[in-house]
Amino acid sequence: MAGKMTRRQFIGRGAGAVVLGAAMRPRATGGATPVTITHLDFVTPNDGSPRGNALANNLKAFAEAHPDIKVEVQTIPSTEIPQQLLKSTAAGKPPDVTKVHLPDLSAQVDAGTVEALDPFVSGWDKNDWLIGWDSTTIGGKKWAIPWDYRPTVLLYRKKILSDRGVAVPTTWAEVLAGAVKIGSDNPIGFGIGLSQSQNADSLAELFSCGMISAGGVMFNPNGSTAINSEAGVMTFQWIAELFSKGGTSKAAVNHTYFTIADGLAANTIAMTLLGSQRVAAVAATAKDDAGFAPPPGWSASKPGQSNPLSQTLVVSKRSKHKEEAIRFIEFMTGPRAAVELARGGEVPPRKSSYNDPFFATPPAANVSRLKEILLQRGGHVSAYPPKYWDLKQAIAGAAQSMVLQKRTPKEVLDEAAKKYNVLIGA
């Protein structure tokens, strides 16, 4: 019958249709099937925080600019990222891109979890960075790209200071005097954390800032630590006096970076030294009452030096999508992402980013000022060694011993330095 197909015709035409369909199907390499890369971060996209919103917006912008790359974000606390990168690498399933804190970078390089980026970034402008290109170079190789810079700044609550007649301090002596005037309890004059948990970051940042402001160095040329130098002892003496004169609470022995930031936001701490990334977080709660200033110096004539840290982006050595990972990093550290990054309170790393008109507007005022502090006061620690975590623990333990057991700064710092130097075999 006309119009009716035989079985042979049906099979033949069906096969033809399948072949034609397959031939007409877009190829995977043509971009229809995106490559999926994983990104390990401590910021949760769209969590309602300024930086969470910023990350979400930048991920969206990246997806629009690079439809051939899909990014899956895995979020864990920042203090757990180093171990997670090590563990996932050992398990053979590392994230393609990970956000690594600058002091933790050398340990990851030592462990062989990250890829040297030199072949991928040879065409990049090495002079377009607020801090030298070599800040993330170890052993002559480039291992990470800075995602932000975070100079240490003095954060304070304006009303507490004005109510007590304390001017914004510019020297360590003024900070101490102001803290003592405010007192040790609700509000605490100066927030400091001697706890060894959360990587002992609170004390480490304050201590390194005090040391380099005094002209000291954290490490000798042979890798041994110089924390027990005159500069280190001077900084510890200041901490001892802060406790003994009542400028901080005894509870500070157990305080951490996060509890101090929370205390400042909750108005129970008047002043503290933290990384610049905390400026926006505190301002989100304290609004106009939150203030910040450059780090204090040891004398009026010698301005304090900040110790700028950085969150960096690395590519896993075992990543199967290194090219895509680099494209993601280039976008997230580049001018297009910088505006959102600044809205989230971070200091974008590339000079060219600041050409965007946004940085001339009031919402960018804080970030622009932080950038200036970074450029003007950016004295910094030399390369962080792989065992920096151990040194931070030793410093925190020494400070606890000094405060609780009433030992001298020199005594406890000598002990801590010896412990670290034995550990590294120096």
SS3 assignment, position 229: coil
223: left (phi over 0), alpha (psi -120 to 50) or beta: left
Segment contacting another protein (CB under 8 A): 205-213, 230-238, 368-376, 389-397?
Answer: 389-397
Q: CB 200 → another protein: shortest distance, Å?
A: 8
C-alpha 60/C-alpha 68 separation (Å) is: 13
Q: CB 108 → another protein: shortest distance, Å?
A: 9
Segment contacting another protein (CB under 8 A): 42-50, 80-88, 223-231, 293-301?
Answer: 80-88
* Residue 390 binding another protein, by CB under 8 A: yes
C-alpha 222/C-alpha 219 separation (Å) is: 8
* Residue 424 binding another protein, by CB under 8 A: no
Cβ proximity to another protein: between 270 and 339 the closer is 270
C-alpha 398/C-alpha 418 separation (Å) is: 11
| Residue (of 229, 238, 234, 233) closest to 174 by Cα position | 238
Segment contacting another protein (CB under 8 A): 2-10, 135-143, 222-230, 393-401?
Answer: 393-401
Cβ proximity to another protein: between 49 and 268 the closer is 268
Binding string, 184-223, against another protein, x = CB under 8 A? -xxxx-----xxxxxx------------------------
C-alpha 381/C-alpha 211 separation (Å) is: 9
Question: Cβ(228)–Cβ(420) under 8 Å?
Answer: no
C-alpha 88/C-alpha 77 separation (Å) is: 15
Q: CB 286 → another protein: shortest distance, Å?
A: 15
| Residue (of 247, 217, 219) closest to 230 by Cα position | 217
- Kindly tell me the sign of the dihedral angle through the C-alpha atoms of 138, 127, 145, 206: positive
Can you tell me which residue has the tokens 């160095």? 217
Rule CB under 8 A: which of 135-194 touch another protein? Answer: 185-188, 194
For another protein, the binding residue among 17, 19, 32, 90 (CB under 8 A) is 90
- Quote helix, strand, coil % in the chain, to nearest 5: 50, 15, 35
Binding string, 259-278, against another protein, x = CB under 8 A? x---x--x-x----------
Segment contacting another protein (CB under 8 A): 10-18, 171-179, 372-380, 397-405?
Answer: 397-405
Q: CB 86 → another protein: shortest distance, Å?
A: 5
Task: Please count the CA atoms within 13 angstroms of the CA of 290 that sit on its side-chain side.
Answer: 21
For another protein, the binding residue among 252, 260, 282, 417 (CB under 8 A) is 252
C-alpha 425/C-alpha 316 separation (Å) is: 29
Q: CB 207 → another protein: shortest distance, Å?
A: 17
Question: Cβ(306)–Cβ(152) under 8 Å?
Answer: yes
C-alpha 282/C-alpha 168 separation (Å) is: 17
Cβ proximity to another protein: between 378 and 397 the closer is 397
Q: CB 390 → another protein: shortest distance, Å?
A: 6
* Residue 100 binding another protein, by CB under 8 A: no
Classify burial at 411, counting beta carbons within 10 Å of its beta carbon; exposed 0-12, middle 13-18, buried 19 or more.
Answer: middle
Cβ proximity to another protein: between 300 and 404 the closer is 404
Q: Are strands 137-138 and 145-146 parallel, antiparallel or unpaired?
A: unpaired
Cβ proximity to another protein: between 241 and 390 the closer is 390
* Residue 285 binding another protein, by CB under 8 A: no
Q: With contacts defined by CB under 8 A, how many residues of the chain interact with another protein?
A: 38
Q: CB 198 → another protein: shortest distance, Å?
A: 8
Cβ proximity to another protein: between 110 and 289 the closer is 110
CA 131 to chain CA centroid, Å, is 14
C-alpha 70/C-alpha 328 separation (Å) is: 10
Q: Which residues pair with 100 in a beta bridge?
A: 312
Cβ proximity to another protein: between 110 and 330 the closer is 110
Binding string, 101-120, against another protein, x = CB under 8 A? ------x--xx---------
Q: What does the binding site for another protein look like in residue numbers (CB under 8 A)?
A: 82-83, 86-87, 89-90, 107, 110-111, 185-188, 194-199, 249-254, 256, 259, 263, 266, 268, 389-390, 396-397, 400-401, 404-405
